[in-house]
Structure 1
Amino acid sequence: MVIRHDSNAHARIAKAIAEAETRTSGEIFCVLAKKVSPYRDVSLAWAAAAALILPMALIPLGFEPGWIPGLGAGWEAAHLAAREATIGHALTAYALIQAAIFVVVFLLTSIPPIQRMVTPRSVRRARVRKAAMRQFLAHGLHVTEARTGVLLFASLADHQVEVIADKGIHSRVDQSVWGDAVEALSRGMKRGDSAAGFEAAVALCGAVLAEHFPPAERDVNEIEDKLVII
């Protein structure tokens, strides 16, 4: 489901948040990201490593400048100047091979599915968590009256989900209880039904908050009930 152009999906998620918050003084907010990082540094690292290591495998195969069109000499002279020219050709050929490998590997590892495969899970998780925390702060979830804001964050390209709960919740709720919400949102993302995933996760977060943070006597909706797409 493509949420960006689906007003019905946005309405469903907003409704799920509103219903969950009728039973709690907590605030729930949802963010869906296409991608949290271009990961160019990861592609550059793979390209640099490949350019450094792969050409070395050519040496045992008898690498010579003639492998590169235009650098091979049909005749070889024995004097010193010719030897120096041969060494120069060899170094040039080696550098060209390194450059070609660098470009090819960089372009390959920039293709989203391949990039995701070669990017360590720990790196993706750390960047998704950092992006989620930025959204948590940007939307004021850290300044609710009782510090009971909860952010549900999912990144499509990274296949990662984060749940961030504010200080007031940390002190009273075991963090393991958010596991079901994470799993529910992840299942929706895997099915390609992000809206249903957010709805299920919101309901589970609402149940946790309702148990520990019932509605205040004069409960005010401090954070708008909606999904934000970045």
Structure 2
Amino acid sequence: MRLNASDHARVAGAIAAAEARTSGEIFCVLAGQVSSYRDISLAWAAAAALLLPLLLIPLGFDPDWFPGVADGWEAAHLAAQPLSVSHAIGVYVVVQAAVFVTVYLLLRIPALTRLSTPRGIRRDRTRQAAMHQFLAHGLHVTEHRTGILIFAALADRQVEVIADEGIHSRVDAGIWGDAVEALTEGLGEGRPADGFEAAITLVGGVLAEHFPPRPRNPNEVPDRLVEI
């Protein structure tokens, strides 16, 4: 879900229109994915490899279930016991390895990766990525600390609005919820440009109310949306 040149122009125009009524600065970022979540897939695969093979034990786990493992000559019953135990351990390890690889590969399917990753982790990593973009684009060094970042992560299905301390100290943090909802709705319906425009309009309204234009009102941050 990438934006074309027309979409970028619409978002830039919405930012310019919003900033005409305020001394605040608005910047937008659309990310494809903020994390591969490979560590989460590995954790699930390791847990599955440890736990799922245990289900074989109540069923009377026997290496003979796996053709070729226990085939061979045994000298005598007592002498063969250590060999049988080693076969059982070896087969169990192979089963664990097979479960680990199978679960890991399944969880690398994007839809399953998202479903297997707790929402709290996706939210935290999206917030970290958004904060990185906030700092990288200089929204923390505006003259009156009135920068706002509107950030969306497509694959993670997360939206963040980050306001600098000049705004954060004067506006209830919950007021950004409408902007988050508007952008989320647009993304969910496959209309990212519409979502960003709606979010920008809402954010601009809040900024205009609390931070009207100053006599000297330079444009400190480019009016545009960045895709990463």
| Bin of the TM-score, shorter chain as denominator length | over 0.9
Structure 1 segment 41-190 matched on structure 2, within 5 A: 41-73=39-71, 76-190=74-188
> Offset at 1:9?
0.5
Deviations 1:125-175 (A, max 9, x none): 000000000000000000000000000000000110000000000111111
Distance 2:62 2:172 in 1: 64
Q: Which amino acid aligns with 2:2?
A: V
Task: Return the TM-score normalized by structure 1.
Answer: 0.96
Distance 1:103 1:81 in 2: 35
Q: Which amino acid aligns with 1:124?
A: R
- In the alignment, which of 202, 223, 226 is matched to residue 224 of structure 2? 226
Deviations 1:28-64 (A, max 9, x none): 0000010000001100000000000000000111211
Task: Return the TM-score normalized by structure 2.
Answer: 0.97
Structure 1 segment 189-228 matched on structure 2, within 5 A: 189-228=187-226
Q: Which amino acid aligns with 1:48?
A: A
SS of equivalent to 2:89 = helix
Identity rate, percent? 65
Distance 1:69 1:152 in 2: 58
- In the alignment, which of 16, 28, 31 is matched to residue 30 of structure 1? 28
Residue 2 of structure 1 corresponds to which residue in structure 2?
A: 2
SS of equivalent to 1:163 = strand
SS of equivalent to 1:144 = coil
Q: Which amino acid aligns with 2:60?
A: G
Distance 1:33 1:195 in 2: 14
SS of equivalent to 2:140 = helix
> Offset at 1:79?
4.4
Distance 2:2 2:206 in 1: 29
2:15 corresponds to 1:17? yes
Q: Which amino acid aligns with 1:23?
A: R
Q: Which amino acid aligns with 1:78?
A: A
Q: Which amino acid aligns with 1:137?
A: L
Unaligned runs of 5+ in 2: none
- Cα RMSD (Å): 1.2
Deviations 1:184-218 (A, max 9, x none): 00000100111110000000000000000011101
Q: Which amino acid aligns with 2:64?
A: G
Shifted more, 89-98 versus 58-67: the winner is: 58-67
Distance 1:94 1:193 in 2: 50
Count of aligned pairs: 228
Distance 1:81 1:47 in 2: 37
Q: Which amino acid aligns with 2:90?
A: T
> Offset at 1:102?
0.1
Distance 1:202 1:40 in 2: 33
SS of equivalent to 1:60 = coil
